[in-house]
Structure 1
Amino acid sequence: MSKAPAKPAPRRTAYLVLGMHRSGTSAMTQLLALAGANLPANVMPGDEHNAKGYFEPWKIAIFNDERLRAAGSAWDDPFAYPFRPLPEDQENAWLDRASDLFDEEFGRLAWPLMKDPRATVLLPFWRALLDRRCVDLRCVIPVRHPLAVAGSLARRDGFPPEKSVLVWSAYMLAAEAYTRDLPRAFVGYDALLADWRTEVARIEAAHGAPLPKMTQAAAKKVDGFLTPDLRHNADEAGLSALGWAGEIAEAVHGWCVAAARDEGPDRSALDQAAAALAARQAEFGMLVSPATRDLAKARVELSEAQARLEVAARFEAELRAELARLEDGWRTAEHVLEQVEAELDEALATP
């Protein structure tokens, strides 16, 4: 008797928040989570640079860093776009690892919500994986002024503005190019903070579906979360002072702003910006990309060495504490023994 054919896995829908680091992706992710999308099991906590939290799956972020380095790039490589595929056998091995990670983070959750900026420039890879897992996609792409992003990266990473606006351009070009056939919404970061309800309506219209659970209770939580203090850097008008890097960023930013206003901008401006970036990559990308890869690897090794030193320091402190405890015990025992000996001598001396 022949077996019945296996039933195909039921399709799910995942929300992807795409775009550059420091561009408002964390705020957008929190909004979607409050509206019913499912955060991963292991999220990156907040720190002094983002007190309200990053909401990134830190294990997937580490994986994405490794995958970028495997192709000779890094998250802060201005030439991380376009995507660099690996040989088929190697890519399949990476896809298997990513599949296991996705299951570990999201299991069978109905509305997976993934935010890791690195996934933007790796989106062809993640689209292949999620299609294999029968997961449909809805994308949200926050748009923040590249100089505001540059200001944040200068404080956090010490990047010069030319580098930051180029990396921002690469990420936004990738976000646009790799989502053209998907339900997607470009959302102005300032507009989100000013009137998030209007932006949610735009997202739902672009996706052709409501958010999973935008209740009145969820809306109150969003009101409490999207506060003016999230706008750390004012927009600036100085892109023209950054030479050809600023020209590329200005063209990309102009298109993205128009898209966030539903103006249907002409894509030729993006094509020209992408061509200009490709021309610069042809000129000196072979110097920049390996350097960013090697520096990223050095950062990881330094972080791991610091972690080992911290563990060793804690171990040393514990050993010293244990030694002090043993010494105290020994001194107490020695004192007791001296008392016993004195009492014994006194007893023996008594006729």
Structure 2
Amino acid sequence: MTTPGSPATSTAKVVVVAGSGRSGTSTIAGVLKSAGLLIPPPEVPGNRTNPRGFFEPKWAVEFQTKLLRRSSVVLTDSRPAAFDETAKVAAEPEVREEVGAWVRQHLAQSRELLVKDPRDSWFLPMWRTAATDAGAEVAFLTMLRHPAEVVGSKDKYYKNTNAGESPRQAQTTRVASWLNVALFTEATTRDASRTFVVYEDLLADWRGQVARVAAELELTGPADLSEAQQAEIDEFVDPDLRRVRTEWSDIDCPDEVREMAQEVWDQLLVLAGSGGFDDEAQARLDVVRERYVSMYVDAEALAQSSAEEARRAGARNARRKLLKEQRQQARQEAQRTARQQDRRAAAAPTGAVARARSVAGRVKRRLRSR
């Protein structure tokens, strides 16, 4: 498959896949791997939520998981300020050195490297710096799937894990997380090579989408696919992969949150159809981002009492846990002391008998010698 007019470049590329989880990031990564991009092994194996595989470098997943933990940020964080926390950790010299070394190592094997991990969106500046340090260019590929479908997919495969105590809390948190990641991913990638791919479009016409990605990101591998590569991708891409078709009517969340998410979705579709950039769409996304940040600050203020109670409850639970551990240690120490006393008590009669026998033996020997 040759793309007319596709630019050829000898510059090394680090393609970073961004976007919310359950947006088709694994599908595009699998397609681009078959198209010639290198996903550094070993890869994270598939499971029931993604049986065809995740196409994620295990090193990147483990490394970024540690960085999130150090930042006190979770994968589905809806706090706008969470991006500042991840940026601080990612900017540390040892982090920059380690990521740069990993990128350089694998660029020596392939001039087009693919990094896909749901955590990528939290560390986009880090990957840009690593690519630059390695003498390569970074390119961002953001997968798009309607937020209602993303939430529906997470509800199906992840239930209410880390999302909330009720379905409304879980779905509100997940829509807000989608909003947060979508808004800040778009803003962070404006001054770089980027492209947007709609999941539904990829499943319907992967050839057209791959040709567009190759042209917009100036990739050489996907620009000219052999028949064998095309057959491999044909077998891999299955329209039935879109197993969840949730609509807004299925999602229970505040109207304002839903309206903002729909507006962001509409503008991202404009970017997907205009080569990744559109002044008007970007301006409207700026307005929504400011509105979201303002709404979140207000929500934090309203929920301050709940946050304080959660903090106190956490402190109480920590004290209870410590007291329980102390009591358990005291019981174990008491049991050890009791066992030692039992052993000494059991050994005492044995010693007395031995001494009595020794005395009796001496007496007998004296009597015999007379």
The question of a shared fold, defined as TM-score above 0.5 by the shorter chain, is answered with yes
Correspondence 1:18 to 2:27: no
Kept after mapping to 2: 8 A contact 1:57/1:105: no
The residue type equivalent to 2:88 in the other structure is L
Change in Cα spacing, 1:42 to 1:64, as seen in structure 2 (3 Å) is same
Match of 2:118 in 1: 117
Match of 2:263 in 1: 251
For residues 287-337 of structure 1, the C-alpha deviation after alignment (integer angstroms, 9 at most, x for no partner) is: 899x9xxx9xxxxxxxxxxxxxxxxxxxxxxxxxxxxxxxxxxxxxxxxxx
Which of 236, 248, 253 does residue 237 from structure 1 map onto? 248
Match of 1:151 in 2: 152
- Cα shift at 1:285: 5.5
- Cα shift at 1:133: 1.4
Partners of 1:260 and 1:97 in 2: CA distance = 33
Match of 1:301 in 2: none
Correspondence 1:195 to 2:205: yes
Change in Cα spacing, 1:215 to 1:181, as seen in structure 2 (3 Å) is farther
Question: How many equivalent residue pairs?
Answer: 282
For residues 206-236 of structure 1, the C-alpha deviation after alignment (integer angstroms, 9 at most, x for no partner) is: 2245444522211111111110221011141
Match of 1:130 in 2: 131
Change in Cα spacing, 1:211 to 1:176, as seen in structure 2 (3 Å) is farther
Partners of 2:284 and 2:250 in 1: CA distance = 16
The residue type equivalent to 2:189 in the other structure is T
SS at match of 2:45: coil
The residue type equivalent to 1:18 in the other structure is A
For residues 153-196 of structure 1, the C-alpha deviation after alignment (integer angstroms, 9 at most, x for no partner) is: 11233242211111112222232112212222111110111111
- Cα shift at 1:204: 2.5
The residue type equivalent to 1:261 in the other structure is G
Partners of 1:140 and 1:153 in 2: CA distance = 21
SS at match of 1:114: strand
Q: Which moved more, 1:240-249 or 1:71-80?
A: 240-249
Partners of 1:95 and 1:34 in 2: CA distance = 29
Q: What does 1:201-220 correspond to in 2, within 5 Å?
A: 201-212=211-222, 213-220=224-231
SS at match of 1:267: helix
Partners of 1:58 and 1:281 in 2: CA distance = 34
Kept after mapping to 2: 8 A contact 1:41/1:105: no
Match of 1:142 in 2: 143
Match of 1:86 in 2: 88
Match of 2:43 in 1: 43
Partners of 2:138 and 2:290 in 1: CA distance = 28
- Cα shift at 1:69: 2.7
TM-score by length of 2: 0.69
Correspondence 1:278 to 2:288: no
TM-score by length of 1: 0.72
Which of 174, 177, 184 does residue 167 from structure 1 map onto? 177
The gaps in structure 2 that reach 5 residues or longer are 1-9, 164-169, 315-370
Kept after mapping to 1: 8 A contact 2:41/2:58: no
Kept after mapping to 2: 8 A contact 1:41/1:106: no
Match of 1:28 in 2: 28
The structure 1 segments of at least 4 consecutive aligned residues displaced by more than 6 Å after TM superposition are 286-289
Aligned-pair RMSD on alpha carbons? 2.9
Change in Cα spacing, 1:268 to 1:239, as seen in structure 2 (3 Å) is farther
Kept after mapping to 2: 8 A contact 1:138/1:207: yes
SS at match of 1:142: strand
Q: Which moved more, 1:269-278 or 1:187-196?
A: 269-278
The residue type equivalent to 2:135 in the other structure is C
Partners of 1:208 and 1:98 in 2: CA distance = 23
Partners of 1:141 and 1:268 in 2: CA distance = 19
For residues 28-67 of structure 1, the C-alpha deviation after alignment (integer angstroms, 9 at most, x for no partner) is: 0011111110111121111000010001112211221221
- Which protein has the larger Cα radius of gyration, Structure 1 or Structure 2? 2
Partners of 1:171 and 1:111 in 2: CA distance = 25
The residue type equivalent to 1:95 in the other structure is R
Kept after mapping to 2: 8 A contact 1:166/1:245: yes
Match of 1:222 in 2: 233
SS at match of 2:174: helix
The residue type equivalent to 1:255 in the other structure is Q
The gaps in structure 1 that reach 5 residues or longer are 1-9, 296-351
Match of 1:346 in 2: none
